[in-house]
């Protein structure tokens, strides 16, 4: 099996929330080792999880999403690495109380590492 496109998805939970995997789908392509996210699986407080989405067919994207639940609501990470790898797409949605950021790295456009970091809420400023 020859891998043409690969996205390693890493979710870093820097919150005090327990994240439960509510849904996950590989829209195009396939999950690679360690396998698909397990519904009901968790990312502990201050923990992380990693999954790999691949494409082994020409013209097929490596595309998928993972949806997590927590006491603040739902968090979803969606990615799409198409044949034109410079058109990589990422959409991360989260409740306002769970800010996030993401970054991309990788050796080339066809093999990407997507790191999503969920952050604790900013402290409230006291009014004077």
Which residue has 């790898």 as its token pair?
85
Please give the pLDDT value at position 73.
97
Please give the pLDDT value at position 126.
56
Please give the pLDDT value at position 39.
98
Which residue has 């396998």 as its token pair?
35
Q: Return per-residue pLDDT of the chain as tens, 128 residues.
A: 899 999 999 999 999 999 999 999 999 999 999 899 999 999 999 999 999 999 999 989 999 999 999 999 999 999 999 988 889 999 999 999 999 999 999 878 999 999 999 999 877 665 55
Q: Which two tokens stand for residue 56?
A: 């082994």
Please give the pLDDT value at position 91.
98
CA terminus-to-terminus distance, the chain = 64
| Spatial contact of 33 and 75, defined as CB atoms under 8 Å apart | no
CA distance 21 to 76: 10
| Spatial contact of 38 and 21, defined as CB atoms under 8 Å apart | yes
């Amino acid at each position: 099996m020859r891998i043409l496109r690969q996205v390693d998805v890493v979710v870093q939970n820097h919150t005090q929330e327990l994240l439960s995997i509510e849904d996950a789908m590989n829209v195009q392509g396939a999950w690679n080792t360690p396998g698909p996210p397990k519904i009901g699986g968790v990312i502990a407080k201050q923990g992380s999880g990693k999954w790999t989405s691949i494409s082994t067919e020409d013209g097929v994207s490596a595309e998928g999403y993972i949806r997590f639940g927590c006491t603040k609501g739902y968090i979803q990470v969606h990615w799409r690495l198409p044949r034109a790898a410079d058109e990589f797409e990422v959409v991360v949605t989260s409740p306002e109380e769970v800010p996030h950021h993401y970054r991309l790295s990788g050796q080339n456009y066809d093999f990407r590492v997507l790191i999503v970091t969920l952050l604790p809420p900013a402290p409230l400023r006291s009014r004077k």
